[in-house]
Amino acid sequence: MINSRAGVGGATVVEVSELSTPYAPGTPAWVDMMTTDRVATMDFYGGLFGWDFEIGGPETGYYTMALVRGKPVAGFGEMPRDVMFPVVWTTYLATDDLEESIDLIGANGGKVLVPEFDTGGPGRGAVAVDPSGAAFGLWEAGTHIGAYVVNEPGTVIWNELATRDAFSAAEFYQAVFGLALDPLPDFPYTQLKADGRVVGGIFGMAADIPAEIPPHWMTYFAVADLDAAVDRARDLGGIPVGDVAESRFGRFMTVGDPMGATFKVIQPPPSTPS
């Protein structure tokens, strides 16, 4: 997502909240999950972020859109009963040519997990893994551009890749999506830029991070009050993970939802740091 103030990695860009045109290639455009309990997922996130919901018909598997002011901000479907995968938030990167992006993924060491799917008018997508093993989605917009509201409480404000080989990962996303790379000089973090705008980040996982934590894309949701949000998540059955991180870019914390998906909630600073 385009960040409104300063990204966790340090990006400062122009504030954007509501969008109506397709995202630039390589920009995180959408997040969704396949959950084990759609109703419980609605209860948790609706209670935490105040989301309303638009539930699709049986032909969509009752795919559900989370709404802010009536506009889609995230989505989720329910896993078939005979399928059991980890419940995760998947970050979808925008593309204006799905077939070309799929070819480039294979040519640069990635693999396609879920082949091209066509939702009809809304758009087309796929799910892949990068060479480090982190899964991500691709989204070629039709009538649905992705998230229509970002960078405000209850919506996505930042997406970043955590990986043990940040250099190779950065080269992969540059090759596939044409993203520009902007490594930070004093922190193991690379900002990703599309059309000159910072749209996400990649950081190298430290050696002390347990080996069982795989490379992954993480979704950050903005909140107005971090402490209140963490307390609310706990009351709703979520599990706060670790400690609150304090930074000049905001206070944030990892939370696990009752179905097992992890995400971060962040309270941005009241103004852009100088």
**In the chain, how many domains are there?**
2
For residues 138 and 141, give the distance between their C-alpha atoms in angstroms, rounded to a whole number. 10
> 111 with 163, same domain?
no
Its sign, for the CA torsion 125, 126, 131, 134, is positive
Task: Kindly state whether residue 73 falls inside one of the protein's structural domains.
Answer: yes
> 70 with 117, same domain?
yes
> 135 with 165, same domain?
no
For residues 112 and 138, give the distance between their C-alpha atoms in angstroms, rounded to a whole number. 10
Question: What's the confidence (pLDDT) of residue 16?
Answer: 67
Chain centroid to CA 83: 23
Question: The tokens 């996400």 sit on which residue?
Answer: 200
CA distances from 152 to 4, 70, 73, 107 (A): 8, 14, 11, 37
Task: Kindly state whether residue 180 falls inside one of the protein's structural domains.
Answer: yes
Question: The tokens 């009809």 sit on which residue?
Answer: 120
Q: Is the pLDDT of residue 30 over 50?
A: yes
Question: What's the confidence (pLDDT) of residue 9?
Answer: 43
Q: Is the pLDDT of residue 182 over 90?
A: yes
Domain boundary among 79, 112, 141: 141
Task: Kindly state whether residue 273 falls inside one of the protein's structural domains.
Answer: no
> 167 with 253, same domain?
yes
Question: Model's pTM, two decimal places?
Answer: 0.93
Task: Kindly state whether residue 5 falls inside one of the protein's structural domains.
Answer: no
Q: With b meaning 16 or more CB within 10 Å and e meaning fewer, what string describes 49-82? A: bebeeeeeeeeeeebbbbbbeebbbbbbbbbeee
Least confident of 26-30, 135-139, 181-185, 223-227: 181-185
The secondary structure element, H or E, covering residue 41 is helix 38-49
Kindly give the pairing relationship between strand 250-256 and strand 262-267: antiparallel
CATH number at residue 222: 3.10.180.10
Residue 218 CB neighbour total at 10 angstroms: 20
> 132 with 218, same domain?
no
Nearest to 261 by CA among 37, 89, 39: 89
Task: Kindly state whether residue 21 falls inside one of the protein's structural domains.
Answer: no
Which residue segment(s) compose the domain that 72 sits in?
Answer: 28-141
For residues 151 and 142, give the distance between their C-alpha atoms in angstroms, rounded to a whole number. 23
Nearest-Å Rg of the Cα atoms of the chain is 17
> 169 with 255, same domain?
yes
> 125 with 160, same domain?
no
Q: Which residues pair with 92 in a beta bridge?
A: 30, 137
Its sign, for the CA torsion 159, 240, 250, 185, is negative
For the chain, what is the largest distance between any 2 Cα atoms, rounded to a whole number of angstroms? 52
Task: Kindly state whether residue 239 falls inside one of the protein's structural domains.
Answer: yes
Residue 231 CB neighbour total at 10 angstroms: 12
> 171 with 259, same domain?
yes
Q: Is the pLDDT of residue 3 over 60?
A: no
Domain boundary among 141, 172, 204: 141
> 166 with 206, same domain?
yes
Task: Kindly state whether residue 12 falls inside one of the protein's structural domains.
Answer: no
> 162 with 137, same domain?
no
Nearest to 128 by CA among 106, 145, 144, 155: 106
DSSP summary character for residue 58 = G
> 114 with 204, same domain?
no
Q: Taking residues 189-206, what's their average pLDDT?
A: 95
Task: Kindly state whether residue 272 falls inside one of the protein's structural domains.
Answer: no
Residue 216 CB neighbour total at 10 angstroms: 22
Kindly give the pairing relationship between strand 216-222 and strand 262-267: parallel
SS3 category, 122: coil
Domain boundary among 108, 141, 174: 141
Q: Is the pLDDT of residue 234 over 90?
A: yes
Q: What is the pLDDT of residues 96-132, one digit of tens each?
A: 999 999 999 999 999 999 999 999 899 999 999 999 9
Question: What's the confidence (pLDDT) of residue 187?
Answer: 81
Chain centroid to CA 142: 20
SS3 category, 268: coil
> 50 with 132, same domain?
yes
**Mean pLDDT of all residues belonging to the chain:** 92
Residue type for position 237: G
